[in-house]
Amino acid sequence: MIFHKTTLQDAYLLEVEKRGDDRGFFTRTFCAAEFREQGIEISFVQQNSSFSAEKGTLRGMHKQNAPHAEDKLVRCIKGSIVDIIVDLRPESSTFKKWEAFELSETNRKELLVPRGFGHGFQTLEDNVEVTYLVSNYYTPEAESGVRHDDPAFGIEWPLPITVMSDKDRNWPLFEG
Ligand SMILES: Cc1cn([C@H]2C[C@H](O)[C@@H](COP(=O)(O)OP(=O)(O)O[C@H]3O[C@@H](C)C(=O)[C@@H](O)[C@H]3O)O2)c(=O)[nH]c1=O
């Protein structure tokens, strides 16, 4: 796996390395030893998948609060998304900064979202599936989020929003 630093502290964009042969190719999508070589120690405990039917669907911006904070390793296995993360760690040098990444079934890129970040994505086409490993179990009482359109961040989404949950429309404005 090839690790690329992002503009945000501790977040990485990963490219997989294909081993091709007559049948097709093989690739790793996660390897604890390769992560450790980069100084990243994470134990993933749950894998999630979400399917979004309509182009323009937005999910986010989500995080779980400590002590249930979670790192996420996200990839898009059907279709394409713009994945956006925002650094919500007050002690970080990139606090309140955001960055966008295109993840798709064709580019196979993966995004490592560190604990303490808000995470969301918008689908760029119909019938999109996103899968991600997380380092902590789902804990509804620790769920929190920030608004996708919070002026505190000024996130620019690629498309008009078509579908979104009521929960995501109603996150409070960020205070910090
Ligand atoms: C995240 C999660 C949800 N659920 C349930 C709760 C609810 O009934 C249903 C849908 O949940 P949500 O509306 O929160 O799903 P969704 O909006 O897709 O939530 C996800 O969004 C992306 C952006 C993330 O970063 C993820 O960590 C996660 O928060 O699934 C679980 O049972 N386990 C889980 O781990």
Interface predicted TM-score of the whole assembly (ipTM), two decimals: 0.98
Q: pTM higher than 0.95, yes or no?
A: yes
Token match 């898009």: residue? 76
Rounded to the nearest angstrom, the gap between the alpha carbon of residue 128 and the centroid of all alpha carbons in its chain is 15
Instruction: Say how many Å lie between the CA of residue 8 and the centre of ligand 1.
Output: 24
From the number of C-beta atoms within 10 Å of its C-beta (0-12, 13-18, 19+), residue 111 rates as buried
User: Residue 132: how many CA atoms within 13 Å on its side-chain side?
Assistant: 23
Q: pLDDT digit string (tens) for 13-67? A: 999 999 999 999 999 999 999 999 999 999 999 999 999 999 999 999 999 999 9
Amino acid identity of 169? R
Q: Is 12 a catalytic residue?
A: no
CATH architecture of 2-169: Sandwich (2.60)
* Residue 71 pLDDT class (50, 70, 90 cuts): very high
Q: What is the DSSP letter of 142?
A: G
Q: Which of 48, 98, 121 has most ligand 1 atoms within 8 Å of its beta carbon, as the pocket-test mutant?
A: 48
| CA-nearest residue, atom 35 of ligand 1 | 138
Check residue 175 and give its pLDDT.
Answer: 87
Q: Which residues contact 146 (CB under 8 A, 6 or more apart)?
A: 61, 86, 88, 118, 152, 153, 171, 173, 174
Nearest ligand 1 atom to alpha carbon 46: 35
Sheet holding 110-113: strands in order across? 2-5, 12-15, 110-113, 72-78, 128-134, 46-52
pLDDT-above-70 percentage for the chain = 100
Domain residue ranges of the chain, discontinuous segments joined by +: 2-169
Q: Is 25 in the pocket of ligand 1 (CB under 6 A)?
A: no
Instruction: Say how many Å lie between the CA of residue 161 and the centre of ligand 1.
Output: 19
pLDDT-above-90 percentage for the chain = 99
> In whole numbers, what is the pLDDT of the chain averaged over residues?
97
Residue 100 tokens read as 């966008």
SS3 122: strand
Q: Evaluate if residue 145 carries a pLDDT over 90.
A: yes
Check residue 176 and give its pLDDT.
Answer: 74
From the number of C-beta atoms within 10 Å of its C-beta (0-12, 13-18, 19+), residue 34 rates as middle
* Residue 152 pLDDT class (50, 70, 90 cuts): very high
Alpha carbons 149 and 169: distance in angstroms, whole number: 9
